[in-house]
Each structure stands twice: as C-alpha cells, then as structure tokens.
Structure 1
Amino acid sequence: MSSSSETLPSIPHYVAAPPTKEDLDYADLPIIDLSKADTPEGRAALAAQVHDAMRDIGFFSVINHGLTQPQNDRIFDIADVPFAQVSDEEKRKYEAKMLEEGTFQGYKLRRYWHIANGVQDEVEHYNINRDVTKREHPQALRPFLPEISEFTKHCHYNVLHPILRLLAIGLELPEDTFVNIHGYDAVGETYVRFMKYYPRDDEEENKTNHVWLKGHTDFGSITVLWSQPVSALQILSPDGKWRWAKHIDNAIVINAGDAMEFLSGGYYRATIHRVVQPPLDQRGYTRLGVFYFVMPDDNVKLIPIKDSPVLQREGIQRRFTDEQAPTVEQWRRGRTRAYGKTELKKTAAGVEEEVINGVVVKHYN
C-alpha cells in the first residue's frame, strides 16, 4: 500500500480513545506471525497454531501482515469519512438494500436493527465491495477509492489467502483448496466495512443489559477485523464465559464464520461473539472499526469438503444434507435480509433462534 503523504489527498485524523486501563477478563488469543508463512516450514508451524486456535476458541490475532502503523492509521482516517463528512441526506441516497435484495453494499444507518426491549442499534456502517467500481459512492469518499481498492487487495492476497492456506493444511488438503473458491475477481460480495458505534444513554444501556450487538456468528468464511483500542468485542469462550478481545496495535483479529463451518464439516466452528458497552474509562467515545468480511464465490455450494483426511477420520457434523445445502449467494442474502429484522423465537436462557434457508441460526444475549 502507498504511504507517500505527498501524493495522497489530505484527510482529518480520527482520534480514537486511549486503550482502557481497566483489568478486564481477556480471552487468551494465540498470536500468528504471518511473516513466517513465506516458507513451507513456516507454514507448517503456523498451520498447527491456527488449527488449534480454530478448534479451541475460534479466534486468533495476526501480526506482521505487511501494513505499517502509519498505513493502518491512514485507513482508519479514511474509515471515518463516510460518517463524519457525509450528510444524513446524502447517506440515505446510498443506503444498502438489505431487506429488498439481501445486500449490505452501501450504508446500514443507525436504528435499523432491534437489539432488545424496543431499543434500536446505534451503529452505522458503510460497505464497499472489493471491486470499488461496482456502485457509486458518496462524494467525500471518492478521492480515497484508489487507496480503498489497494487495501482490499492487501487484505485479500496478503492476509486472507495465507490464512486460507493454513486452514487447508490443518485439514490435510492441498494448500490452495480454499484459495481457489475465494477468487478476487469472482462473482461475490466480499467487502470492506467501515463501522462506527455511537454511545447510548443510560436508559437504553439498562434496557439492553449493556449489549450493543447480540451474540452471533458471522455468515461468511473468514472475518478480518483490524484491531482498534475501544474494548467492546467479547468472545463466548468454550467454558461458557464471555471474555474480552484485547487490543494489539497494528494487529488483526481473525475468526471463522458459518460458511467455513459448513465447508469444514463443523471442524472449524463459527465463533459466537458480541459487542457490549465499553469499560468506564472509554465511555463517551465513538468506536470506529475496519473489517474485511469474506465470502466464498457466490456459486459455491456450502457442503463439506469430503476429500479431507482429517474429516474422514474425525467425522462430519452436518447442519443440513448435501441436497439441501444453500449456495453462498443464497446463504448471504438470507442472513442479510433477516439480521436484526426478524421475530426471534426464545429458547433456552439467553438464546433466540430463527430459521434461514432451512438452517437454525442462534443469537445469544
């Protein structure tokens, strides 16, 4: 990615909250040094680490991914543009057709999702397909599209593909098994998301038990989350406790989603996570996030990769038969339309369910 400030359009700097000083119960996330993925020996060692992380907790952190701290800062400055420099009127022009078309491309405006007890969300996001030319963007963002395009390529080729190779090695499959169904130029909806959470008042915090986004699984294959300092992300640990994800400067947090769980026959689990009110010393700050949400190519059928010797030994856990399996396009459109809009059925304490494409989807609160 380019880092020459002389050639780049100027931009206001987004000032994030200082990291919390509170003593939080952090999840113990393995740290993967991606610079070691360049050799077969390095990949073998990293693959063992990633395998255990995906089996044990479903999240891990990544360092040495090829972006410098100044380049990281620049992306977060760009990420604030669609929120801080676009009027509400113009935002509505670029609103995503989530309900109508099952697509997140464009804005998800505030107070669209129902959280609990009549309280709507206070999160806004702007989603940009990895092909930034697919649709028009707000005026203020247009000068930065070349940088965003470069960033998507970096995320795809220098972060996602190496991780997909490690996941394939963990299943004793050819290294490019997952890479081959995550083409950069294929038809699909892998996208960058800029996301901003705004503080809520005490009444809404109490009504939602301080939950900003219910416990859920992501519906793609891999989520690439660029670490930021406001502590709010919590992971449901194997022992049933919610633990915080710790911020590491210029690191990435990686987790698997539903599509990876389906393709791996339940071996790599989609991990349950949520967003809650930050600790006391970070309240009152906005929380700006940068993500790369990854979907396999639209035409991929979400059936287990039975060639895996690991799955042949361990067995396959099915959520549906091969005949009933949705394509990636069907799955992502169904999940996008339903999220935060459907009437959920309460089951066990704190668990709510809905059925999408014949599959039971759970939400945790």
Structure 2
Amino acid sequence: MSFEIPTIDISPYVMSPYVANSPDERHDAARAAVATDLDRACREVGFIQIVGHGIPRESIDGLADALDEFFALPLDVKKTYARSSSENRGYSPPKSESLSMSLGVASANMMNDFYEAVVVGTEAADYPDLDLPESSYAANTWPDAAPGFRPAVEQYFSHAQTLAAILMRAFTDALGLEQGYFDSMLDHSINALKMNNYALPESEIAMPGEMTGMGAHTDFGILTILWADQVPGLQILGADNLWHDAQPADNALLINLGDAMARWTNDRWRSTIHRVDPPIVDGRIIRRRSAAFFFDGNYDAVIEALPGTLQPGEVGYPPITIAENIAAKVAGLKGGIAPGGDLREAERVRAAG
C-alpha cells in the first residue's frame, strides 16, 4: 500500500478572508475545492503538507535563528530556564520526557526521549478581562541569555495563530458546519510553541537502554502547525500499521490533527500517531530542529461528538474538557503517569510493525 502526505495549497483561504454573511463565502469554488481536499486528507491520513500558508519566509528564518541562539547556550544555562514538570512552559533537557507515555505506552527506559525543548505559549495576561487558570495559561520564561530569541519567536507565534484561525475556517467548511461554529470554543485558546533540538554528543549515543528521538504519540489539542528541518526522522503511523517517513518540501509546513479534533469527529478525522528518530551517521545523530505550534482551544471547551459525526446507535468518546485532556497527557509526558480513559491510539502503537 502506497503512503503519501497530501499537499494542499490553502491560499484561497489565506488570500480571501472570511466575511460574515457574505453570499459568496460558502460557495466560492476555490475554497470549496480546498475544503474537499482537506476532508479527504483528514479522513485518510491526518497529516497534511500545506503551501500558500502566508507565513513570511523571513519570519520562519528568524524562528530558525532563534532556535540556534538558544540551543547553543551551555546546558547549565539552559537548565536555569526549566520549569516544574506540571507546567508546559520553559526548558526541558534531554531524556526528561517520554511522549509515548502520553498514550500510556511505556518504553524500556521510561524517560528516554533524547530531544531537548523549550516551550512558550499564551498566558493569562493575554486575556485580561477573563479569569483564567494559571495551570492552563502559565506565564512564559524568556531566556535573557539569548536576547534575539523572544522577538523572533513572538513574531512567528503571531503568524502561526493567524494561520490556525484560517485553518479552522477551512476545517469548518470541510466538516459541513456553519461558519463560526467553533468560535466560542477558540476565543481564549491555549496555544503553545514547542521548539525542539535533536542532537547529542557521540558519547551519549552509547548509553544503555532504549533511546528514541521523540516517542510515538498523538498531539493533544485541535491542530498542530509544524516547521521542521529537511532532515529525515519524522515518521507517521499509517492505516497499514507501518511507519512511514515524512519531511517537509521547500516552503511547506506540516499540519496534523490532535486528539480534540479526533474526539470531536469520533475518529472520522484522524489524530495520527507519529514519532521522531533522526538518523545516526558515523556514530553521531544528525542535528534536526523543529517547532510545533499547538492550537488547543479554550481550556473549558467540551470535546464531544460534532453534529453529523455519529451514526445511529454509535457511541462517541465520553465528554471531556480541553484542559482535562491536556492535563492527562502532560502527566504521562513529564511525569510518567499513564492517562486513563478511552485511549484507542495506544493499541495502534503497540501493534505497529
């Protein structure tokens, strides 16, 4: 069975902003074609490569430079920006996380993911008129030892938020829902940018026990916008239960769905399982960088089956809030505590060839 990540040009949505109650909005042929392609891709793969996304090249280059500036700092300096394991902010050193445990799938060496990461996201202060929990909207830790980091990351973060909103309009059309259906669930969305660096000295590779770049997992929220180096490593678990390599084309971004969207659609759309194993050449891991923008939705939004996604007699996932779902997955990621509930993806990971 052949495997291919569909490439979709979303410029009809980027270049033609939504106008409420416009008689042409839902009937524009170009946008309708994009919506149809998105529905097919979300049903069959759950990963999409997009072009025409509107994020300027200079902003993406600035993000890459920011990653280089931060990750080049000495490890002892980077560790000063670490946060509590209960928070999804700040620096995480190598081998301090296990993404497979977010699905309750333990590895031989529990906290074995060798990437290092730094995370920033939306804060409670971004919504001064709302009383939001710090547990979901924690304040950021910006590294003053890397002075170019914050402005470049904030610029990219802003572009990614705009793109996520555009994608949600396209997804709304693809699902046949009334425009604006998700608005009340997204107006104080938990958004986070996780910037990753995969590289270890040669001596680290010889450590005993199983090691992975980033363990098999699904993403937790609604959708993910991924920028990554064009270096092999990212692998996607296909419908054939085999791992398939994936890397972005020039000027493309990868989009994948998260658990919230899969639960909303009762798995009509796929929250695709993926992992990262960068190549090893001459005993050294080839450096790979990535930045995943997680668009997760409002902390208090309830994830339950959308209209039209359940067949007569079919039972969907039990309702859960965005915050509850994320908290359970983060407890596995950072604390090694397997989440409870309906984890259909875990069985697919265990059966993967």
Distance 2:32 2:312 in 1: 20
Counterpart-to-counterpart distance in 2, 1:27 and 1:334: 31
1:146 paired residue number:
151
Amino acid at match of 1:122: F
Q: Which residue of 2 aligns with 1:116?
A: 107
Q: Which moved more, 1:295-304 or 1:284-293?
A: 284-293
Percent identical: 24
Residue 31 of structure 1 aligns with an amino acid whose one-letter code is T
Q: CA deviation at 1:116?
A: 3.5
What TM-score does the superposition give when structure 1 sets the normalisation length?
A: 0.77
Q: How well do the aligned residues superpose, as a CA RMSD in angstroms?
A: 2.8
Indicate the residue corresponding to 1:328 in structure 2.
322
Could you say which residue in structure 1 is the equivalent of 2:219? 218
Give the corresponding residue for 2:316.
Answer: 318
Structure 2: any 5+ residue segments left out of the alignment?
A: 17-27, 99-105, 127-138
TM-score of the two chains, using structure 2 as the length reference? 0.79
Unaligned runs of 5+ in 1: 1-24, 344-353
Partner of residue 64, structure 1: 52
Amino acid paired to 2:63: I
CA positional deviation for 1:221: 0.9
Match of 1:359 among 330, 342, 345: 342
Deviation, 1:283, is 5.2
Task: Read off the aligned partner of 1:152 and give its amino acid letter.
Answer: F
8 Å Cα contact 2:117-2:197 kept in structure 1: yes
1:51 aligns with 2:39: yes
Contact 1:230 1:282 in 2 (8 A): no
How big is the shift at 1:224? 0.7
What are the Cα deviations for residues 79-112 of structure 1, in whole angstroms up to 9, with x where unaligned? 2222213x433333321322xx3x2111122121
Q: Does the C-alpha gap of structure 1 residues 282 and 264 become closer, same or farther in structure 2, counting only changes over 3 Å?
A: farther
Task: Write the mapping of 1:127-138 to structure 2, written as runs, cut at 5 A.
Answer: 127-131=119-123, 134-138=139-143
CA separation in 2, counterparts of 1:279 and 1:46? 38
Residues 195 and 74 of structure 1: is their aligned pair in 2 closer, same or farther, counting only changes over 3 Å?
A: same
Matches within 5 A, 1:121-270: 121-131=113-123, 134-157=139-162, 159-183=163-187, 186=188, 188-199=189-200, 203-204=206-207, 207-208=209-210, 211-270=212-271
2:83 matched to which residue of 1? 96
- The one-letter code matched in structure 1 to 2:120 is I
Give the equivalent residue in structure 2 for 1:35.
Answer: 11
Pairwise CA distance, 1:327: 1.3
Equivalent residue letter for 1:52: R
Deviation by residue 1:160-197 (Cα, 9 ceiling, x = unmatched): 112111211122101332344223xx1x5311111111
The whole-number CA distance in structure 1 between the counterparts of 2:54 and 2:249 is 15
1:33 deviation in Å? 0.9
TM-superposed CA distance for 1:65, in Å, is 1.3
CA contact (8 A) 1:95 1:108 kept: yes
Q: Secondary structure at the match of 2:324?
A: helix
Q: Supply the distance in 2 between the matched residues of 1:63 and 1:315 (Cα, whole angstroms).
A: 39
